[in-house]
C-alpha cells in the first residue's frame, strides 16, 4: 500500500512545481516584457502597421491551465524548462496559487497594453500604462510576501519542534522574506517615479489640447 501513496505524493509535488515554473516565467514577463514573435532565424514578425507582434501569453485562468509552452515560437520555447498543462482540480485545490495566477494574468494583459503603446506618440498614455503594470506587480509581490510570512511562521513552529532539521529551512525562508520585502520597496520607488513623470507630462497634454 505504500507505493501508491508515494506515487501520489510525487505526482502532487510535480504538479505544484509545474505551476510554480509557469508562474515564474510569466511573472518575469510581466516585469521585464512579454517576448515578441520571431522566426527561427531571429527576425521579428510585424503586423500591418509594422509593429512587432507579441508572442502568446495566457490571458485568462483557462489559458494558463492549457499553456504548456507549445503555443510559443521556437526561440522562446528554448528558454523554457519542461512545462505541462495544469488540470482544473489541480489549481482549484491550491487557492493561494490560483489567486496568484489571476493576478499574474491581469499583470500580463496590462503589460501587453503597455508594450503595444511603445510606438504611440502620447507620453501620458505610455506612463499611465506603465503605472498600471507597476501597481499590478506590487500587488503580486505583496501577496507573495504575505504567503511567505505565513510559511515563515509555520517553519518557525516546525523549527521549535525539530531544531536541527528545520534550521536550514528557516534560514532560507527568512532570506526569501527579506528579498521580497526589498523588491516591493524597489517597485514602490519605481512607481513613485512614474507618478512624478506623469504629473509633469499631464499639464503639457492639457496645454497642447487647448492650443
> Which pLDDT tens digit goes with each residue over 187-199?
888 888 888 877 7
Residue 201, pLDDT score: 72
Residue 47 has pLDDT above 80, yes or no: yes
Name the most confidently modeled range: 171-175, 182-186, 199-203: 182-186
Answering whether pTM is above 0.85, one says: no
Q: Cα 16 to chain center, whole Å?
A: 16
| Confidence band of 167 (pLDDT split at 50, 70, 90) | low
Average pLDDT over residues 41-52: 92
CB 140 within 8 A of CB 27: yes
pLDDT band at 176 (very low <50, low <70, confident <90, very high): confident
pLDDT in the model for residue 172: 73
Q: Which residue has the higher pLDDT, 162 or 24?
A: 24
Angle at 86 between CA 73 and CA 34, to 5 degrees: 35
Taking the alpha carbons of 29, 99, 105, 114 in that order, is the dihedral positive or negative? Answer: negative
Q: How far apart are CA 24 and CA 9, in angstroms?
A: 22
Q: Say which residue, 200 or 47, is predicted with more confidence.
A: 47
Tell me what pLDDT residue 60 has: 96
pLDDT in tens, 116-157: 988 777 788 888 888 888 888 888 888 888 877 787 777 666
Give the position of cell 522562446: 76
Torsion of CA 65, 70, 73, 77, to 10 degrees: 90
pLDDT at position 2 is: 45
pLDDT at 192: 83
Closest by CA position to 130, among listed 154, 113, 144, 153 = 113
At 55-90, the pLDDT tens digits run 999 999 999 999 999 999 999 999 999 999 999 899
Q: What is the pLDDT of residue 41?
A: 93
CA distance 105 to 23: 10
Cβ(96)–Cβ(148) under 8 Å?
Answer: no
Average pLDDT of the chain? 83
Amino acid at each position: 500500500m505504500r507505493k501508491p501513496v508515494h506515487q501520489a505524493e510525487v505526482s502532487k509535488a510535480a504538479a505544484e512545481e509545474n505551476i510554480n515554473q509557469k508562474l515564474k516565467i510569466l511573472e518575469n514577463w510581466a516585469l521585464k516584457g512579454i517576448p515578441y514573435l520571431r522566426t527561427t532565424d531571429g527576425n521579428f514578425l510585424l503586423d500591418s502597421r509594422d509593429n512587432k507582434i507579441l508572442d502568446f501569453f495566457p490571458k485568462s485562468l483557462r489559458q494558463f491551465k492549457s499553456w504548456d509552452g507549445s503555443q510559443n515560437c521556437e526561440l522562446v520555447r528554448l528558454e523554457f524548462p519542461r512545462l505541462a498543462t495544469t488540470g482544473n482540480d489541480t489549481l482549484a485545490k491550491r487557492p493561494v496559487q490560483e489567486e496568484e495566477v489571476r493576478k499574474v494574468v491581469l499583470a500580463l494583459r496590462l503589460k501587453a497594453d503597455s508594450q503595444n503603446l511603445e510606438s504611440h506618440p502620447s507620453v501620458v498614455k505610455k506612463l499611465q500604462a506603465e503605472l498600471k503594470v507597476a501597481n499590478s506587480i506590487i500587488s503580486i509581490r505583496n501577496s507573495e510576501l504575505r504567503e511567505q510570512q505565513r510559511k515563515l511562521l509555520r517553519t518557525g513552529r516546525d523549527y521549535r519542534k525539530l531544531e536541527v532539521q528545520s534550521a536550514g529551512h528557516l534560514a532560507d525562508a527568512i532570506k526569501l522574506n527579506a528579498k521580497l520585502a526589498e523588491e516591493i520597496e524597489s517597485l514602490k520607488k519605481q512607481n513613485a517615479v512614474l507618478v512624478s513623470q506623469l504629473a509633469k507630462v499631464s499639464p503639457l497634454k492639457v496645454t497642447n489640447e487647448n492650443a
